[in-house]
Amino acid sequence: MSASRARRSIATLSLLAIVALVARRGAGQEVPSPEAAEAARRLFREGAQAAEEGRWLDARERFRRALSVRPSPLLHYNLALACQNAGYLVEAVDQYRSFLRIDNDPANVARRTAAQRAIAAIEPVLARVLVSAPSEEAIAVLAIDGRALPEGLWGVEIPLDPGEHIIDARGARGSTSLQAVVVREGETLPVTLAWTEARADAAAASDATSEAGATAAPSVPIPQRRAQAAPTGTIERVRRRLEENARETDATGARPWERTFVVYGLLGTGATSGVAAIGARWAARPWYEIDAQVGIGHPFGPGVLFFPAVFRAVWSYQFASTVMLGLGTNFTELPRGTAPPPSGAACLDAGPFTPLWLTFGIGNEFRVARGAGAVRFVVGARYLANNRELVEGLRARCTTPSTRLEPRDLFFDPPTLDHSVFPLFPWFGFDAGYAL
């Protein structure tokens, strides 16, 4: 590049920078001083560290302060993420929308997708209140949790975080209303104000304020406060907590547990499905799964194992525990006895036997690669429910059921073993797969 072309390029870039600076000042956005900009960067780093450690309230406070000094799309996104995980759902939606509105960086495609998904997931959960006043007196001032609402929002549904809220109002003739309401997830709660007549001096003060053209303050100063969870039963609280954990995002904004279908391969021993199997599981809810697998390598022959009830507890965006209850069977035939029959007895031909295994297991699952990889370790016990049929079939075939347990029989038992002597047999497995 020639020197003249380089000078022209520098001049063009300088002109663009001046235009951008003037535009920002014209839009009412002051350029922060170098000291303020560096302080904002430090607040952002502190917020990112707090988010990494799961201290979402601290992260929210740091990101809000940084955003007030130096607005940017990335700060809007990170603040939305912190608000969502801290339970400030209305603020989270607002910040996600701000991010989508002002972001135009091609590198943020994944974040834009995550923001759209987050909005779609949060909106059905938001609570709403619709405030109305008795006909005898109109509303003059209306506040929720200490924040006054503009008159244009009176009489329409107001989105709120699920939980407890304080509604404070003053009527046109000086009456007051102060109510605590509890709104559940997805609920729209109609609230009718219950007016209480104000004292004469309070009414006179209100009239004087109105005549002076000032805006009246709420009747009772109410500090801004975090909405508390609605009172619910123990089971409901546990369910909500598990679902909240399943919505938790990692550092990139992804929600690993939103991938609800997993196809996997399994290796293990003692399980009805054998030493090698393939399987699939689907999470109908964040706390409930259905699991099925088919495999080879069991002494009774190829087998299938079905878990209609898998209860999952998600502890973080990366780790969950499961309790599994299932049924299994194998495709096998009883061996024909070779010993001579007792006097007067006849050995029967070998026939099919369908075992029925009751299976219990506990497992730990890990999600990696933004949730695409699923790794699980499972241990448990199995019980042959129709063992009596097995033993009687063996005897009918002139075979004596074995009652001596070898160490290997714990995990790899022969079909001639009397399973009622040792009713529970352990099993364990390791599986890894891809989550969709």
Residue 142's alpha-carbon distances to 94, 151, 155, 297, in angstroms, are 22, 8, 11, 71
User: So what's the pLDDT on residue 227?
Assistant: 40
**pLDDT at site 13:** 39
pLDDT digits (tens, 9 = 90+) for 55-66: 889 999 999 999
Q: Does position 345 have pLDDT exceeding 70, yes or no?
A: no
Q: Which of 114-128, 244-258, 269-283 has the lowest mean pLDDT?
A: 244-258
Closest CA to 105 of 73, 77, 80, 81: 73
Here the tokens at position 217 are 């303050």
At 29 the pLDDT is 52
Q: Where are the alpha helices (DSSP H) in 123-233?
A: 200-211
Say which amino acid occupies 258. Answer: E
Tokens at 84, concatenated: 């969502």
| Cα(270)–Cα(310) distance, integer angstroms | 19
Cα-Cα-Cα-Cα dihedral of 33, 37, 39, 43, to 10°?
150
Percentage, residues of the chain above pLDDT 90: 28
Q: Which of the 8 DSSP states describes residue 209?
A: H
25-29-35 Cα angle (round to 5)? 105
Q: Is the pLDDT reported for residue 166 higher than 60?
A: yes
Question: What is the distance between the alpha carbons of residues 203 and 137, in angstroms, rounded to a whole number?
Answer: 14
Confidence of residue 343 (pLDDT cuts 50, 70, 90): low
pLDDT band (50, 70, 90) for residue 30: low
Q: What average pLDDT does range 7-28 have in this prediction?
A: 41
Q: Is 220 a residue whose pLDDT tops 70?
A: no
pLDDT category at 232 given cuts 50, 70, 90 is very low
pLDDT at residue 186, rounded to an integer: 85
> Stretch 268-277: mean pLDDT, rounded?
89
Residue-level pLDDT at 14: 41
Q: Is the pLDDT of residue 10 over 70?
A: no
Residue 361: its pLDDT value, please? 95
The whole-number pLDDT of residue 16 equals 40
Long-range CB pairs of 339-344 (<8 Å, 24+ gap) are 339/398, 339/399, 339/400, 340/398, 341/398, 342/398
Domain boundaries, the chain: 32-123, 127-211, 239-435
Return the minimum-mean-pLDDT range out of 6-15, 236-245, 311-320. Answer: 6-15
Q: Is the pLDDT at 326 greater than 70, yes or no?
A: yes
Please spell the DSSP secondary structure of 296-311, one letter per residue.
Answer: E--TT-SEEEEEEEEE
pLDDT of 349 reads 64
Is 230 a residue whose pLDDT tops 70? no
Chain centroid to CA 430: 25
Does residue 381 surpass a pLDDT of 90?
Answer: yes
Fold of 239-435: Porin (2.40.160)
Question: Where is 337: in which H helix or E strand?
Answer: none
Task: Pick the more confident residue, 250 or 296.
Answer: 296
User: Taking Cα atoms as reference points, which of 376, 387, 384 lies closest to residue 430?
Assistant: 376
Residues 117-150 have pLDDT tens digits of: 999 989 888 999 988 888 778 888 889 988 888 8
The contacts of residue 306 (CB under 8 Å, 6+ apart) are 291, 292, 293, 326, 327, 328
Supply the pLDDT for residue 205: 44
d(Cα 3, Cα 345) in Å, to the nearest integer? Answer: 111
- Predicted confidence at residue 350, as pLDDT, reads 61
- Cβ atoms of 222 and 146 within 8 Å: the answer is yes
Mean pLDDT of 319-336: 87
| Residues 372-382: b if buried by 16+ CB within 10 A, e if exposed | ebbebebebeb
pLDDT mean across residues, the chain: 80
Fold of 127-211: Immunoglobulin-like (2.60.40)
Alpha-carbon gap, residue 338 to 56, rounded angstroms: 71
- CATH top-level class of 32-123: mainly alpha
